[in-house]
Structure 1
Amino acid sequence: MTWLDLGEDSPYGTANLPYGVFSRGDGSPRVGVRIGERVLDLTAVLDDSVFAEPSLNAFLAQGRARWSAVRARITALLTEEEHRARVEPALFPVSEVTMHLPVLIGDYVDFFANEFHAGNVGMMLRPGADPLPPNWKHLPLGYVGRAGTVMISGTPVARPHGQRRVTGAAAPEFGPCVHLDFEAEVGFVIGSGSRPGRPVGVGEFADHVFGVCLVNDWSARDLQAWDATPLGPSLSKAFATSVSPWVVPLDALEHARVEPPARDPEPLPYLADTEKWGLDITLEVRLNGHVVSNPPFATMYWTPAQMLAQLTANGAAVRTGDLYASGTVSGPLPAQRGCLLELSWGGHEPISLPGGAPRAFLEDRDEVVITATAPGAAGTRVGFGEVSGRILPAR
């Protein structure tokens, strides 16, 4: 038990200890750990200059043994009364700090790993045909995104411009996106990199991935329908990707590990499961304060370990600070669909917000907030913070 007064239901107890980068006033950004509604300044309590850096990258590069040692030390500082006098002055209210992008993003890859999402999209786009592409159950599909457009939660998102095809028109037109959407996703942060030419096996997942964050892969659906063929999403995805400020260590998610869904056909040997890396994470999506979806990550067909194996199967290396995301998380029920494209069934069945306001896609000034929790040790819940963004008019 910690000597802090956290309350019984805090999702940020010592079973969690998520990392982030914060600043106070005009001070420099530095690394901290969240405990309850406070941030522990690691620069002040740990003898390692990596925590004075403006990103987690230097710490992540130290590897799993160091990650475990630091977690154990922080736990001791927050649970043993003898450390209280030294630690208390280094604790600051979350409400009084500014959060920054937690890692300096190297490469960013987004997957398409949820069967319910892929199936729903396929039914909309290819009615009467097999909703899944022929390769979908043989490998986790993904696309390389634009790392420079990954932004911290709370950053406003300007409605993007691009080309779209208008029914009956001889040529596409250029203008602001009309069908703007969110995608509720889970992201994975690379800590230890890999060597070029050496794939990372499924069983090596925990040696390379430091932790988990929340992701909103904003999507311009009308632009996507035109620019995604034949090479996949381009400008329709690469204008903004929001991430949560807190990175939950894999060590905090041991009690959230579950068996993934049954696979048919069996994956090829390099994607075969050697460890249980399904994760029982429940997301919640709010649109203008109203809950519109509760996507369950446990339904993911492909696990994050398999995504990493696929990401490196050709010998491509991963580096400290790389980020990859799951793709939209959806479940079997309508209330578990993780984007408006599914929730409104392509815009044909708009959802209703309080007061009867319909939404097929996002309108200017709409705000999307995604949160999540997972089972923790001793019956606790592990919180992931939130990833939020408000839509601004096209510029």
Structure 2
Amino acid sequence: MGSEIYTHRNPSPDSPAHDGPLSGKKVVIQPNVAVRGWLCDAGSLALEGYVALEDATVVTRLRKAGAKLVGSSRMSELGFGLVGDTATRVLTAGEADIALVTDTMGEARIAAAGSGVFGFKPSFGMVSRFGLVGLVPSMETYGILGKRLEDVVDTFSVIAGKDMDDPSMPDEAFTAIPATREPLKLPCTAGVVKECLAILEDRERKAFQTGLARLEAAGLTTREVSLSEFDLFRVVHNVVASVEASSSAGKYDGVRYGHRSLSGKNWNDMYLNSRGESFSPLIKTFLFQGAYFQFENYPAFENACRLRRRLVRAVTDLLGVVDLFVFPTRRLEQDAPRAATINHIYDAFSLTLPANVTGQPSLQVPSLALHTGADLGVQLIGLRLRDSRLFSIALKLSSAAQGGSAA
């Protein structure tokens, strides 16, 4: 049962356990998350009519924790960008407490900033991707949106953790949630990347500096740091993500499931026509680009992977000096939900995609950097697999910024 906002509206949410950490909480997901018996088309004609046969790991864990799945919201094609995404509409209308959305290049955080809510992208590997219809497997993860930071923390603590069904999860030990909900003592030191500030317009810079001042008043110490190759994050994401997307989308051929063309004289025509009809011009452009790097210019892809490793190393080294980074979340002149070309999408997500390249946790905090009613957003970005520490810092800062003590 669909609607303008939902692809599937659950008419009778399950009655899960009453004593779980998410008991009574309403959760909306996207139709690229497998729920047995629900449409799972990932917003794409390529998966037309596909119904999930089993539950994703995160769905199983949410239900065991007492959450009620209210339905699946509409999403952009294969989770790339925010065109047509309605998750925040469900959230801000009060029909859900939590939204679970894919974050491939910052979708969860940009959507959260535009709606004045919290948005969290976990470290890559902290949350099982089993049951997720993905596009860029080395960069995407579930994003968690919520009006209350505590709800985001509780949801993460439920869905994070090892899963034998997902071989991409790291071997390193990690903690999904602080051993105690008592936040860390401040001050902590946050790095403000000067190359990031340099691309902002004056009004954006002033709004961000206002946000920094509020964080400093809450007990955070800031210092300027340099990432001299900051502009390479966009290049690396563009090349690597397009190659992975081209490979991931190769299975959508209309033979076993999804859209099958009615035209063609033979099976080969059917295959080619199904592929040609299944994707929008935007996704086709991205897939063609990836195929070019995959088959015609593979050395460029290899160089992008080497650069990615270098960027990870540079970020890790800086996080030996500071506790976290503080970034603005979005550019005010960029309208991500209406970005219709690859360049426009990368313009809109230029401030969020670095965390996807490096696999770091990133939390969008609302209402700190405002400009004439528009929220620029502030991201707190921590060390990979140390999501619990980032949450501890964020809980303390959020409490202090809203009038609590920073001690």
* TM-score for both structures, normalised by structure 1: 0.29
Choose between structure 1 and 2: higher strand proportion.
Answer: 1
**Higher-helix-fraction structure:** 2
TM-score for both structures, normalised by structure 2: 0.28
